[in-house]
Structure 1
């Protein structure tokens, strides 16, 4: 199997890594598809199952809504040992190497006058009024502002209690019914809801725009003290790249290569 995954030991700073040697303890949101839920239906659940199998461990979860306090009340409380989806650069955790790169996406109704749009400076958005769904305080809003399109926005809240509501589901519903003409969503969410929709929806990665970052590398997150555990997870990521990409692609996650181009298998 390779290295002694998850063994207790001292890290380089002299601290003790308290990683359960027999159980893969995953920190997760109980109701946040496509990422995770209590029924194990999200792609992070599938990755957790695959990781546990590779490590020869049982799988257990510590569930907490993915809002303010998530890291503090799960990983940092030592109730679990890994978060399976953290953007690189989030200093609340220590990131592993990234295991995928994705981006914000544009979702349109197939056959609509905006079908095929890949950038927010598309002249069709200004030719006639269109309603644009945007999660508040997300990067696509900066591009809309620069293009003078904020007046066309229907905003959806960024922070919600995922136990009772979903801004993403509400936005896709509004796109299906015609209340909005285009939805701007984080790529994994856009791909998942488009695959589930009874309407034919098209998902396009949102083109990078100078000054506004759209694409992010996603890693596992561990405690800052857990150096050996991070190395073990990095080895897992390196050895299982194809299997991880297949799980993500099965959920419609738009995957990018290091040049920012879509991976062929994610289409």
Structure 2
């Protein structure tokens, strides 16, 4: 669960004290300084195995600066204690329109997804209004946008809720949901696209991941993801926008390699890197 998909997707830990690390003054010209979560796969981790880590490597190479991280678990105060204290200069994934940061241009768009057993009775379901879901037990992360649609279609009474606020070093609701789908504890699950795509690939049984792009008249189910930087740093924003545009195809390749369900501006699937 990526905590930067507005308030809906918060993965919480209380912020660690920033005073323990030195505080440079402005955007660094000595390193590409990234604000990162040390335990938030598939996005990032301290071993730099997430797709945001790989994108950061790509951008650092382009600007010809060493890559340096300031690690802090995401949660309340994450922006304030990272970008706000100038300990780092960019958050690699942040939802477009989120007020705490200045957004660059979006470098990908994804949506919440429905995860089901491949070859099962829910094959082909691509919207929560489908009658085949009426008597099914569906997993969802508490307090995320799909909850509104689940309520509208009468799917909440049988639903299994998974916690939104967790310490990802010790708990992973997305992995637990995927395991429950495989075991038959639940019939289907709804996850933020990058989580659903990644963890479905790790499952012990074949799973199908379907973007929920047909839900309307409610909270958004798809989000454009940007780099997040400090407000007022317009030259930094311009430079990052140039880098995103110039390396979009390579960014897409990284994202697709991690199973991220990518969408274009009309919510159509992107299945190969854009040129």
Q: TM-score, normalised by structure 2?
A: 0.88
Q: How many Å apart are 1:223 and its aligned residue? A: 0.4
Is the contact made by 1:94 and 1:221 (CA closer than 8 Å) also made in structure 2? yes
| Inter-partner Cα distance in structure 2 for 1:77 and 1:208 | 40
2:255 pairs with 239, 245, 248, which one?
248
Q: How many Å apart are 1:70 and its aligned residue? A: 1.0
Segments ≥4 residues shifted beyond 2 Å: none
Residue 73 of structure 2 is aligned to residue 65 of structure 1: yes
* Number of residues of Structure 1 aligned to a counterpart in Structure 2: 248
Q: State the match for 2:22 in structure 1.
A: none
Is the contact made by 1:175 and 1:182 (CA closer than 8 Å) also made in structure 2? yes
Is the contact made by 1:66 and 1:162 (CA closer than 8 Å) also made in structure 2? no
Residue 166 of structure 2 is aligned to residue 189 of structure 1: no
Q: State the match for 1:167 in structure 2.
A: 173
2:56 pairs with 39, 48, 57, which one?
48
Residue 221 of structure 2 is aligned to residue 217 of structure 1: no
Is the contact made by 1:87 and 1:219 (CA closer than 8 Å) also made in structure 2? yes
1:27 pairs with 29, 35, 40, which one?
35
**Which structure has the greater CA radius of gyration?**
1
Residue 101 of structure 2 is aligned to residue 93 of structure 1: yes
Q: State the match for 1:13 in structure 2.
A: none
Q: Deviations over 1:92-115 (max 9, x none)?
A: 000001001110000001122112
Residue 154 of structure 2 is aligned to residue 151 of structure 1: no
Q: How many Å apart are 1:262 and its aligned residue? A: 0.6
Q: State the match for 1:202 in structure 2.
A: 208
Is the contact made by 1:31 and 1:37 (CA closer than 8 Å) also made in structure 2? yes
Residue 131 of structure 2 is aligned to residue 123 of structure 1: yes
Q: Deviations over 1:211-250 (max 9, x none)?
A: 2211110000000031111111011011111111111000
> Equivalent residue of 1:151, what SS?
coil
Unaligned runs of 5+ in 1: 1-16
Correspondence list, 1:4-23, <5 A = 18-23=26-31
Is the contact made by 1:65 and 1:163 (CA closer than 8 Å) also made in structure 2? no
| Inter-partner Cα distance in structure 1 for 2:214 and 2:148 | 12
Is the contact made by 2:126 and 2:214 (CA closer than 8 Å) also made in structure 1? no
Unaligned runs of 5+ in 2: 1-24
Is the contact made by 2:43 and 2:53 (CA closer than 8 Å) also made in structure 1? yes
> Equivalent residue of 1:259, what SS?
coil
